[in-house]
Structure 1
Amino acid sequence: MNNKNFVMSFSGGKDSTLALYRMINRGYNPVAILTTIKKNEDESWTHGLSDDMLQRVSKSLNIPLLKVECDVCEYEKRFEEVLKEAKSMGASICAYGDIDIEDHKKWGIDRCTNADLDYEFPLWQEDRESLVHEFIDSGFTTIIKKVNLSFMGEEFLGKKLTKDVVEDIKKTGSDPCGENGEYHTFVVDGPLFKSPIEFDVKKIVLDHGYGHLEIL
């Protein structure tokens, strides 16, 4: 097995995209991107991306998509099953975009251990704001897809993440990287993409303390 082959735990957001970019630049080969999907719903966990949108991203990245379809109670078990599927495709590593939350890192390591895979955390313990700036400076385009209304207003939804917008996010008291769940992004273009991801905004939905863009 080529120990340079990896599967990327991928949300469609900026951190997992930057981690993917770094892994590729270090000479690793992505065999798949792995995304968790809500069981019986056409929506990814956390970022709320449809299957169609994820397929478009996969096609533009030219990296196969592996979907973990699960509900909360089977999340870990199904994640490990799909990691084993990635292993059968040649992956020896799973990479994650986590930055500094220890519980998240432990969760990722546990899944890899149970699936007999190594793990990489390319962004681990780096400065959050510096990572956002690196992402922007690398030429990626991302929009703010979801906000926690306890921290940020709905006016941020749909905005392209620029350094000026990062400053506006900081003014709300939110983390510039949104690592505490203040906001989530959807990356639509950049150096890994063959072509931009086209989408239309259907509406803004406010629900259970969150605002999110519904896109087609």
Structure 2
Amino acid sequence: MRAKKISVSWSGGKDSSYMLWSILSQPDFDVVELHTVIDAKTQRVGLHGVHKDLIVAQAQSIGLPIRFIFLESGNTNEKYEETIKKYYTDLKKRNIDCVAFGDIFLEDLKKYRDNLLTGFNLEGIYPLWGMNTKDLAKQFIKENFKSIICAADADKFPFEIAGRHYSTQLLSSFPESVDPCGENGEFHSFVYNGSIFNHPICIKKTGIIEKFYEFKDSSGKIQKSYFHFCDLQPGIPLLNF
């Protein structure tokens, strides 16, 4: 029986990195490529704010092809679905069986992903699903993955959290309301070294930027959500903190 061919949903962050690491150790799976949704205008990864060039550098170090799914800025969820469905159609044409995600406990998100996949007879793989996020965060660090906080919710963190190394010390400073893996969107990370990489990703921190996103609340009123972003550029390896 052949191994299942998989495309990995890749954000460049710690959860997708740890998820990929766990899949690569399983002989029943054959990871064919990574894929990342990119803002067509900014050339950056959604809420992570990481530039496409750094995602390319990660893929090159891992040794896997990367496919970019470009989404126009300000597009609706309907447009997102139209775009991602084109990619899923391509996966089926290439006889790829599964799409892997780094989700941990958000039931609605998992259901949404699975509903999209069902129409293409693709299977959703969730290697981290149901894991205790405190244990997962500790295991990620124990396995010697290296990452920094690239984006953080301004309502939950001070300005200087952006660009900090994701470490046991940093985790101990998180408020109780913050999930240690940021599963509720409290923060996002960029991984620059670890066992899935053949060499570290060379990066430098060029500053911290505050941006906001508009969204409608349950009453239909427009709200703003502020985030601190660490602007990352190609540079020198961040090996010591």
Is the Cα–Cα contact under 8 Å of residues 3 and 30 in structure 2 kept in the other structure? no
**Is it true that 1:97 corresponds to 2:114 in the alignment?**
no
CA displacement 1:44-76 (0-9 Å, x = unmatched): 112112121111111001111111111332111
Q: Which protein is richer in helix relative to its size? A: 1
Q: Is 1:86 matched with 2:91?
A: yes
1:7 is aligned to 2:12: no
Look up the SS of the partner of 1:142 in the other structure.
strand
Instruction: Report % sequence identity.
Output: 27
Q: Report the alpha carbon displacement of residue 90 of structure 1 after superposing the two structures with TM.
A: 4.1
Q: How does 1:130-169 map to 2 (within 5 A)?
A: 130-169=135-174
**Paired residues for 1:106-125 under 5 Å:** 106-125=111-130
Larger Rg computed on CA atoms: 2
1:50 aligns with 2:51: yes
Per the normalisation by structure 1, the TM-score is 0.94
TM superposition outliers: structure 1 runs of 4+ over 6 Å: none
Q: In 2, distance between residues paired with 1:99 and 1:178? A: 10
What corresponds to 1:192 in structure 2?
196
Q: Does 1:126 align with 2:131?
A: yes
Q: Which stretch of structure 1 is more off in the superposition, 142-151 or 63-72?
A: 63-72
Instruction: Specify the code of the residue in structure 2 equivalent to 1:13.
Output: G
| CA deviation map 1:61-110 (0-9, x unaligned) | 11111111113321112112113323444421101100111111012112
Gaps of 5+ in 2: 213-225, 234-241
Partner of 1:212 in structure 2?
229
Describe the SS at the equivalent of 2:170: helix
* Corresponding residue SS for 1:115: coil
User: What secondary structure sits across from 1:97 in the alignment?
Assistant: coil
The aligned counterpart of 1:38 is 39
Bigger drift between 46-55 and 138-147 goes to 46-55
Secondary structure of 2:131 counterpart = coil
Contact 1:167 1:176 in 2 (8 A): no
How far residue 41 of structure 1 moved from its aligned partner, in angstroms, is: 2.5
- Letter of the aligned partner of 2:107 in structure 1? E
> 2:150·2:162 contact (CA, 8 Å) conserved in 1?
yes
2:178 equivalent to 1:174 = yes
Per-residue Cα deviation, 1:2-56 (whole angstroms, up to 9, x for no partner) = 4421011111111111111111112222111111011232111121121211111
Report the aligned-residue RMSD. 1.6
Question: Which structure features the higher share of strand residues?
Answer: 2
CA distance in 2, matches of 1:107, 1:197: 33
For 1:56 and 1:181, locate their aligned partners in 2 and report how far apart those are by CA, in whole Å. Answer: 24
Give me the whole-angstrom Cα distance separating, in 1, the residues matched to 2:160 and 2:17. 24
Which amino acid in structure 2 is aligned with residue 148 of structure 1?
D
Write the distance in 1 (CA, Å) between the matches of 2:208 and 2:176.
20
CA shift, 1:204, in A, is 0.6
Cα distance in structure 1, aligned partners of 2:232 and 2:148: 11
User: How many corresponding residue pairs?
Assistant: 215
